[in-house]
Amino acid sequence: MKKNIAVLVSGGGSNLQSLIDSQKNTYFQGEIKLVISNNKNAYGLERAKQNQIPAFYINKQEYPQNEDYDQQILKLLKEYQIDLIVLAGYLKYVTPILIDAYKNKIMNIHPALLPAFGGKNFYGMKVHQALYERGAKISGATVHFVDAGQDTGPIIVQESIPLDQNWQPEDIQKAVLKVEHKILPLAVKYFCENRLTVEKTRVYIKDKSE
């Protein structure tokens, strides 16, 4: 039985596009039923519309309290009978309103190898700038379940890449984005196949034959 998926975005939505493409190729047994953004100009909303996926912008000014904001999201999630939430470049704090309702059912993609270069103020280009300044030799991306902390939830999938010493932060970003587009659909695939088990802070991936 297919899983119903909601994707939350704040910007361009290239990770959303990787999920849309993977769905079209029947890479995972799920369907993106809903896209939500906190940014009315997010191109991710346009990507959704181009693919006939219901897309909603929720205005922060109408719901200044984060809990009230997430309550509006929760209403949409219930209306569309969502099984999995994917944060794909969603730059907004997620409150316990959503975390408690979707425990171990909210995934986030982070552009580094957690727990390194994660947490407060580590998002987007800031991550790659920090890596560059520290002279890191490897980077990559991480998909993890969301908990009450910042980038502290159980890790589902990671992939590393070596960094060319001459790369600038923009070069690192491009290379890491390719990894993101690969491992986010993979994590969704595992979820849709009921292959993920969370024990305390660890995620175990069942073999497909189990």
Instruction: List CB contacts of 189: < 8 A, sequence separation 6 or more.
Output: 22, 27, 28, 29
Q: Is 181 one of the catalytic residues? A: no
Q: Is the pLDDT of residue 163 over 70?
A: yes
- pLDDT of amino acid 208: 78
pTM (2 d.p.): 0.95
C-alpha span between 108 and 184 (Å, rounded) = 9
Domain spans of the chain, in order of start: 1-102, 110-210
Fold held by 110-210: Rossmann fold (3.40.50)
C-alpha span between 80 and 34 (Å, rounded) = 7
Q: Which of 110, 128, 144, 181 is catalytic?
A: 110
Fold held by 1-102: Rossmann fold (3.40.50)
C-alpha span between 10 and 39 (Å, rounded) = 6
Q: Is the pLDDT of residue 28 over 80?
A: yes
Q: Is the pLDDT of residue 10 over 90?
A: yes
Same fold, 1-102 and 110-210: yes
Mean pLDDT of 97-106: 97
Q: How confident is the model at residue 19 (pLDDT cuts 50, 70, 90)?
A: very high
Question: For 111-127, what is each residue's pLDDT tens digit?
Answer: 999 999 999 889 889 99
